[in-house]
Amino acid sequence: MGDASAVTQPYLTLFRNVPAADFELCRVCHSRPSERHAGNGPYEVCASCARTTGGVFRHTPHVVPISLCARRGGGTQLYDLVARHRVPASPPGGPDRSTFLAATLARFHRAHRACLTRAAGGEFTLVTTVPGTRVDRPVEAFHPMPRVVGMVGDLTGLHRPVLLPGDSESALARLARRESDERAFHVIGGVGGARVLLVDDLFVSGARTQSAAAALFRAGAAAVVALVVARLVDPASSATSARLWARASAERFDFERCCLCGPAAGILGRPA
């Protein structure tokens, strides 16, 4: 695609920085207060990630959101774009949705390839996407991310659509309830020993992401790192979440920082 920086620069106000995990925030999704205690040490994961990582063969501990987003209140534009498939608010001649998402992925990947590679334990050998799980829709025709990834020069050479929705109705029903189940996805082709960059547009509960990661691990993948455009947060869910969102909204977004290399939030018990 074209110049990713030129495409994304006018829209920096749509994004919110994702803090690095610390003892106050979930070490998996980097965006919710930790609620699960690890022995006598600090809290490690949020309740949502505890639920979605606990019921699968093997989960990925590496979820890397590019940005936070919210569905209500201020700063909802990114959620509208990612989840509701709207085009970015732009002057005439601005990017369409797929171009915008591809530019976002390209710019972030270029800045943080080393971070992602380090999390995977080596260079990626496969890039794939989490498919849609609505059985009434053809996967490739209606889910945008395979097309988006195909527009990113640094990723397209490794891209293979190895994940398909599974045929277990009970597993798909669990996903609808935001519960993980690796049977919700079927792996086609060989992935044995692969280090996989798993790309998706929106991370809500983590059920889809962790179910897809578990399916890849069961098929023989050596490592899975999930890269998602946006992580949905609810500032109204708790005072801590409200402070996290307020701090993220007050900062200028910077593509040069990510939740693997950026500063931790340090928000619990502190005023916004």
pTM of the model: 0.90
Report the CATH number at residue 76. 3.40.50
- In the prediction, which pLDDT does 270 show? 43
The reply to whether 96 falls in a domain is yes
- In the prediction, which pLDDT does 74 show? 73
The reply to whether 174 falls in a domain is yes
The reply to whether 146 falls in a domain is yes
The reply to whether 153 falls in a domain is yes
Instruction: Answer for the pair 25, 34: CB distance below 8 angstroms, yes or no.
Output: yes
- In the prediction, which pLDDT does 93 show? 67
- In the prediction, which pLDDT does 242 show? 86
The reply to whether 213 falls in a domain is yes
The reply to whether 254 falls in a domain is no
Predicted confidence pLDDT, tens digits, the chain (272 residues): 569 999 999 999 999 999 887 767 888 988 777 765 555 555 588 888 989 998 798 999 999 999 999 988 777 899 998 887 787 776 566 789 999 999 999 999 999 999 999 999 999 999 999 998 755 544 444 578 999 999 999 999 999 999 998 888 888 888 888 889 989 999 999 999 999 999 999 999 999 999 999 999 999 999 999 999 999 998 888 887 888 898 889 999 999 999 998 776 554 444 43
- In the prediction, which pLDDT does 258 show? 94
Full residue range of the structural domain in which residue 163 is found: 4-12+60-236
The reply to whether 157 falls in a domain is yes
Number of domains making up the chain: 1
- In the prediction, which pLDDT does 68 show? 95
The residue to which tokens 């992401």 are assigned: 209
- In the prediction, which pLDDT does 41 show? 56
The reply to whether 177 falls in a domain is yes
